[in-house]
Structure 1
Amino acid sequence: MAELFSKANEAFVDENYGEAIKLYSQAIEQDAEKTEYFLKRAQTYIKLEEYTNAVTDTEKAVELDPKNSKCFLRKGIALFHLEKFQDAKTAFVEGQQLDSSESSFKTWIRKCEAELDLEQMEESSSQTTGEPVVGVASSSGEVKTTATESAAAPDSTEPSTSTAAKASETIAQAQPPSAPFQKIRHDWYQTETHVVVTIMIKNAKSDQVQVDFTDKTVSVTVKLPSDSDYNLELDLAHSIVPDKSVTKVLGSKIELKLKKVEGIRWSLLEGTDDLPKAAAKSSASKPDEVHKYPSSSQHSKDWDKLARDVDEEEKDSKQEGDAALNQLFQQIYADGTDEVKRAMNKSFVESGGTVLSTNWKEIGDKKTEVKPPDGMEWKTYDK
């Protein structure tokens, strides 16, 4: 069971949610009394936007552990996405009563109240006008009701043919064309002081990006060009400092820089991180150790080296002339493939430092000729 659950968590971190659901389900079949199994499967269902299944799992989790505030948090999030805002608020309030220190409940309760106020305003508006209501598609594609004019025949209670046609036309025009689902990838890495989450959305507008940080959660909502919303809910493995966490909206991505409360290495972005803090601090204190942090990417990266390279680049950014040129060559060599490095070494040595080529195919099979600068002559030094 523990092995299945561990493999399911690995699949979740790799964003292989279908496999994670399969493994969590197998773990539940073997032991249906583990609250955490249902909570993690519910979280995976939320990632897959299968909110009804998520509600079912959270209700089972509540039965198993009615004092666990996370059960109510996940239940409320699933209900919120199902637009059952009153039920979601009730779940968040119950969870807040169990754990008042969890600030994310306050954020979600505020979201529910805003949606409920909007619903009440729409209802009051339709009642005040006393006019018939006609369905209009919302940005999410769901048909909602709104007041519109109606021309009825004087001697009939049925709407006229022209009115029905107008209503049908209104719905057809308001309904956005269906677009294929496009999965938006997010990734993460960390330094000693921060966790950086990148969301691969291009050309997002700052005023259409809403990010809420709490001690243990991150909530992101982005209005996409298709007029639909992208939502990302992260249940963090460790605590962050909300006031010192920032959002950057760039042309190629959205970057969330989360300030760590403790300078320890995270082995997981979400869920329960069992890495001992003492071991984590010891590991982080070794300057010569290469840290290849986990992420949803299948390829590991030495993010410590990347951070150091960036720092060095910033220090030397004002160099000019020969120094700037040498820095460029050094950077090309450092970032180059094995062939690029062989080409640079061969061409530089054989030409006496007068030629520097990065094309191995061009200079690999022949000796590189000496090419002194214009106005200068190459001479062999005699000892």
Structure 2
Amino acid sequence: MASQAARGKKALDDGKYVDAIKEYTAAIKESPTSPDFYIQRSTAYQRNGDLEAALADAEQAVLNGEARGKKEAIIEGQFRRGIALYKLGRLGDAEFILKRVKEAKSDHKQADMWISKTAMDLKNLPEDDKRRACTVTETPSPPKLSTIASASTATTSTPTQPPSKPIIAPAPQQTPADKIRHEWYQNTENIYFTLLAKGVPKDEAHFEITERSMSISFPLQTGSSFDLHLEPLFAAVVPEKCITRVLPSKVEIILIKATPGQKWSALESSEPVKPKADSVVGAEQEAVKKAVFHDNKEKGPAYPTSSKSGPKDWDKISKDLRVSDDGDKNELDDDDDDDGGDDSNKFFRKLFKGATPETQRAMMKSYTESNGTALSTNWEEVSKGKVETVPPDGMEAKNWSK
């Protein structure tokens, strides 16, 4: 039995589907409750074009897997069942079964591809099309004895007898995954991408192209899948205009450049895709830049502030303190002759009088905004933002406007 299954697997990998069916039929005769042999024979039937037989074997594989409690066998049996239903045109049934596969095994990559293919085909069908109907249940109904007998007779017949359906010529030997290569070239309007892979199944290849990415996936004869994802592309393309072709010896993709005439120096960009700037945020940032850095000879620079009345002109405040409204000198200029007040007050008045305009701005801004709790002479630091109120230890600052 083991040797029959091994010969069947080799024949299946070599594209000799009739031989594979014969070997797996012999193996099933020895072990009729094996779900794996039914899964493999279902695959051989499907690739040989006998879709009804492929569906029957897939359903039997599910039943055998449930009887033996083999979760993986149930999932793969359902997957082969979904593919057979899809190829038979029963899209509603195929979608239902393939989604059950995805629920049972969320990382089943081939299930994602077939679900996408089914969804695209359903989208193009009229609402009243019979192919949309879902008529199957998750657990298939056991086959009738007459069906089993007829299937057994059909599968054990000698290969010299004429088949009921014409045998489809096997696909070319598939290129191993580690031997697959790709190349590309361009003109002013398009990028021409070629995947050098033979035997890619046309009806099972899946393409996804976005503005800055491209992906290709298809099943391999080894049972795994080939996946290629390029992101980000060197520049933007127009996804809805791009063209894909699956040929016997290669896969071709024509990417339409979003900017005709742009020369790509590579297929992929080394820089990540930058998010589009928000126009409102950009306008606000531009307004702040103009408010802070705008060169106006008649007016000093404005500085960031949280005041509801807008930014203060500290140059003007400093000037007003030095010169009175009637043009006479302010009392600050006469503080040397003023004996009133304590020594600390005189010191700060004298310090302010002898300071540069920039230092005076710093002192006034820090003292005013901190509510008299801070006094700084460093304009470079004070100009960066509002000076917070810092009350002495043991005291609390209150907002009397609330």
- Category of TM-score, reference length = shorter chain: 0.3 to 0.5
Q: Rg bigger for which structure?
A: 2
TM-score when normalising by structure 1: 0.40
Normalised TM-score (structure 2): 0.38
